[in-house]
Amino acid sequence: MEIKDFLIKMNDIPHVTGHEGEAAEALSAEFSKFSKAEIDVDKFGNMVARLKGNGGPKVMLSAHMDEIGMMVSVICDDGFVKFSCIGGIDKRNILAQEVTIHGREKVYGVIGIKPPHLIKAGEEDKSIDIFDMSIDTGYSKEKLEALIRPGDIITIKQEVAVLQNNRIAAKALDDMAGVAVLYQVAKNLEHYSHIADVYLVASTQEEVGLRGAVTSTYNIKPDIGIAIDVGFGRANGLGEHESVEIGKGPSICIGPNINRKLYEELKNTAVNNNTPYQVEVSPFTTGTDAGAIQMGEGGVITALLSVPLKYMHSTVETISLKDIESCAKLISDYIIGINNGKWEETLCF
């Protein structure tokens, strides 16, 4: 399966934080097609594909599979549905969107908006609070109560848009783009030998506290950890100091969350194999699975690679498929290049 097709397939499967089970099943089916992969879904719902090595270090690659979403909070007497947010929903972005409520059956609706003709003086510059929004399904309260209940998840109903220049736009590319990197790494390594024991982790509940990365790090006990997430792609209003360019390769992060030796090794791997890359400076915690991995099991040597993405946490997150390919190539080349005489040096902080 090509990367674009992989992302289109996963876009249609709900994977809101805490409700990633269907996505884990789909990912298990896809990764099990690789002959080297041993698949497991752990107690916390993380999908782990192990590519067995030959006496080398345990290398954990982690990209979170969960997406931001919403949850039914109240079914009102007039049939409208009130909702709460799971993760960092941007309230500017969900007005007038189509949604799917995943109840006993799928229920489709829209998040309505007051007509501009009826906006009162002074209201036009005010943002609307989430708790003032409602979903209109067309059903009565009695009909809805037979189909949905408080706690059911809600996703934006939006198909992948295929753009020009190898780019696509969709919801939840944060961080299904990173999971696509894992998929491509598995494909790249299918016919190569490597001494590293590679664990490809599609982690859960990153959007509410890196939880899946915490538990999977504890279970795997990796020697080396590399998180794969998305980074802020350059767009209108974002300067060079706070973003990276789409189409110019993944960013390799440097900062206190990152092991400097591993950072240099990844950079050298990119240079030696003519793989495009960029550098991202993060002086604080990165807010990614890298933070959880680094502090796991008494400390793990950790790096972060990011796929540039425009319009993060919106319904039109935009990436370049070429950046996913480059990120997967960089990781694959690094893993193939690990040898018995060198890798232990990396473990020395």
Residues acting as catalytic residues? 206
Structural contact between residues 217 and 225, judged by C-beta atoms closer than 8 angstroms = yes
Structure tokens at 214: 């915490």
How is residue 339 annotated by DSSP?
Answer: -
* Cα gap 303→254, rounded to integer Å: 8
Residue (of 161, 209, 206) closest to 314 by Cα position: 161
What contacts 3, CB < 8 A, 6 or more positions away?
180, 183, 184, 321, 324, 325
**H/E segment holding residue 181:** helix 173-189
Distance set, CA 272 to CA 124, 247, 334 (Å)? 55, 19, 10
* Cα gap 331→181, rounded to integer Å: 9
Buried/exposed 250-262: b ≥16 CB within 10 Å, e otherwise? bbbbbbebbbeeb
